[in-house]
Structures are given as C-alpha cells and as structure tokens.
Amino acid sequence: MIKQKIARLIISLVLVLGSFVLGSCVSITNKTITGEQSGEIWSEDSIYDRESVPALVKKQNEDFKILLFSDIQLDSFLNDAIALELVDTLVKEVRPDMIMTAGDNTAWIFADDLTLKLISQMESYNIPWGVTLGNHDSEGSADRIWHGNQYENAANSLFSSGPSNIQGIGNYSVNIEDEDGNIIYTLIMMDSNVKRAYEDENDYDYIYDNQIEWYEWLIKGITSSENKVLPSMLFFHIPLPEFKDTADAWKNNEIGEAYAFGEIRERVCCPPVNTGLFDSAMNLGSTTHIFCGHDHVNNLSVDWKGIRLTYGLKTGPASYSNSDMQGATLITIMADGNEVKVEHIFK
C-alpha cells in the first residue's frame, strides 16, 4: 500500500509539473468549460411518458446481463492503462447486454480529457451503456453539466442529463422489456452529488428531496401506465446511510450468510444526513436492488429489509485499492422468471 501511494504521488507530481510547463494551470482552478443545460423540465403534474424512456430488449429464454464498473477513476497514464485493460478484458469475457458504471469514472484535474477517453473506449464495444456521476467526475476545468453533455451525446450511451429543475446531472431511467414490449425491469439512475457544508464540517452530499420526489413520481407513473407495480433497480455513487446500517449488522454477525456476501474493509462514507430515499423505496414496493460505489475496499451485498444493497466492485488501481478486490459486478436478470442474480467478478 505504501509503495502504491508513493508511485501515485510521483505520477501526480510529474503531471502537475507538466501542466505548469504547458501553461494550463490557470484553467485548472476555474471551470472554464461550461456545458449546455438540459431543456427538460419536470413537474409532479407531468404524465409519465413511456415512449420517451430508452428501452432495451431481453430475448426470450435468455439471461440479460448488466456489467457494472465502479470507481474506474481515470487519472494518470499508468493507472488508466491498467483500468481500461481490465474493463476491456471483462467486457470481452462477459459479453454483457448493457454496461453501467457506479460513478467516479474519472478524477483529478484532467477529468474532462479523461471523460472523452472513457467514452471512446465504451463506444468501441457497440454495446448500450450508461453511467452515473460520482463526486470526482466533475473535477478539472469542465463543469458537471459539460460532462453530462459528453455522455449524453455518445452514440451508444443511454445517459440523459435529466430534468434541469431537480438537483444533479444524470437523473434518468432505462426500461428492460421482453420481446412483446412488456417492461420487465426499470433501471433508475440518480446523481448522488458531490460535497456540501454541514453545520460542523464539510462532508459528502446527499440525494435531495426533489430527486426523491422525482423517483416517487417515476415509480407511480410506471405503476399507473402498466396497471401494476413493476420491479426496478437504483444506481448512484455515494452510499445511503442504510449501507452503514448493513455494514454494522454484518460486522456484528446479525446477518446470516444466506442474506449477504462480500466484505467491509473501510468505514462507510455515506452522508451524515438521511433524506429518506430508502424508506421511500420500501414504501413504494418497486425497487428490489440498490447499487453504489465510492468506498473502494467495501464490496458487501446484503438483502436489507427486502431490498438488496450492493457495493459495485472497484475497477482499476487509481486512488486507493486492494489488489484482491478488483474487477466488476455482474447483474443478471435470469432467463427463467426474471429473477436477479448479483455476483462480483474478481480479476
């Protein structure tokens, strides 16, 4: 671990020195690249329009595989090469129907250039893919809106910047349908935002009330449109406080192995305030799985009060990592009965 930190420090110093030589440091400290705000406006009175939601088809009698990468954090030449090779190996091995990320796709001062680098690789697979944004994704000279624009404009990307009048960039959904056009699952992506000032300190941000209202509107809209409650999954970056509850229960041996797998090797870096998204999900009875990233050496997956909470397995060595906790998380909607299987693929 010490050697890894020293190597990272050396790489960072070289890149910072290079930025001075190129005269680019002025633009690093200010958001000189700004994106175009989404024209979408949401209202609680809006009618859910299923035709406006991207849909992928699950073939009859076949599994539907979603390959989830987490905390790729492209940030330096050496780390990037390792991370992208890992992504490439896993995509070719799994051959997923969809690729997804749990945020922190990029990091550091060159995040804007690295976002384009990641998009180029994702596009090369010609597979539908989506992302969520993490707390590091909008570092560098481009604002968060610009990053959303880049993901939204990629040909095979399912990403949408989402309504401009609710918090965050990337609150959107994707439907998985059968060959007859019936919705099997809805994937709901949300922006868990970055950081905020609390009364005593700065800490990680939370999912805002208007985002939860949008989530509730979406679930109720689908239910009304299809005349029944349909299952859904949630994806975002920063874990909910309930992830800490599960970690504590797991460490105290209050959860049996029949309900959980994985490990907790660091503290759960959730926001100090609980805004109630998990309770809302429980009350609506649609969401069966919640996936997050953020904590690089936590990969616990727990069935908690009827909803499975899962850390996506970290992808790549950037920032901090453990070599035995690297890879991706495979989410499979099974051929028979459309049940969901979650497993980590270690590399």
Phi/psi at 11 (5° precision)? -60, -45
Q: What's the token pair of residue 118?
A: 């990641």
Contact status, residue 299 vs residue 263, Cβ threshold 8 Å: yes
Question: How does pLDDT run across 176-219, given as a tens digit for each residue?
Answer: 999 999 999 999 999 999 999 999 899 999 999 999 999 999 99
- For the chain, what are the domain ranges? 1-30, 35-346
Average pLDDT value for residue range 162-168: 98
Q: What is the mean pLDDT of the chain?
A: 92
d(CA 11, CA 240) in angstroms, rounded, equals 33
Cα–Cα distance between 236 and 311 in angstroms, integer? 10
pLDDT, tens digit, 9 for 90 and up, residues 9-68? 444 444 433 333 333 333 344 689 999 999 999 999 999 999 999 999 999 999 999 999
11-24 tens-digit pLDDT? 444 443 333 333 33
152 vs 56, 131, 162, 293, CA distance in Å? 17, 10, 10, 21
**Does the structure show a pLDDT above 70 at 96?**
yes
Residue 38 DSSP one-character state? P
CATH superfamily, region 35-346: Metallo-dependent phosphatases (3.60.21.10)
From the CB of residue 152, how many other CB atoms can be counted at a distance below 10 Å?
Answer: 19
**Mean pLDDT, range 110-132, rounded to an integer:** 97
Rounded to whole angstroms, the Cα distance separating 347 from 343 reads 13
Residue pair 139/109 in contact by the 8 Å Cβ criterion: yes
Write out pLDDT tens, residues 283-342: 999 999 999 999 999 999 999 999 999 999 999 999 999 999 999 999 999 998 889 999
Contact 317, 308 (CB under 8 A): no
| Stretch (H or E) spanning 279 | helix 277-284
Q: How far is CA 172 from CA 48, 124, 329, in A?
A: 12, 23, 21
Residue holding tokens 């896993």? 90
Question: How far is the C-alpha of 174 from the C-alpha of 160, rounded, in Å?
Answer: 10
Q: Is the pTM of this model over 0.85?
A: yes
